[in-house]
Structure 1
């Protein structure tokens, strides 16, 4: 959220107050943006998207998953929330 505006613009020195003012404004803009995104995603029409239903089964044949003999029960339990049904 910071800027290097004073490095290339010839409008005078940048003060701490200017930087802090911009940081505060940027933080408020970020807060409003995240709030708007969350408000939109909380709508029922986006429920399937939020739950990533369009990605179900996409990891079934993923490379890089540890072979069955090397999968501990503890590891499968930890990953089951991310890959529901994959280790059944």
Structure 2
């Protein structure tokens, strides 16, 4: 999420960032506390239901970008430290 943190300032006024914890053992308080310690400025949520299936997530961590019409325009699994990839995907939904 450090890469998301690096691009966040450039897109925070155009898109919403939300991190969803999918570990059933994590509470909302645990996730919010972690986000505060890491300095993540976006919303954090704990999933209730089948988020992984709904978004086609098969690996963790995963990133999903959804456009204003609710269409998934970007999906990546695994750790990605490529800020240019994030910027390209975010530019596509803000154009």
Normalising by the smaller structure, the TM-score range is: under 0.3
Choose between structure 1 and 2: higher strand proportion.
2
Greater relative contact order (Cα < 8 A, sep 6+):
2
User: Structure 1 length normalisation: TM-score?
Assistant: 0.21
Choose between structure 1 and 2: higher helix proportion.
1
Query: Radius of gyration: which is bigger?
Result: 1
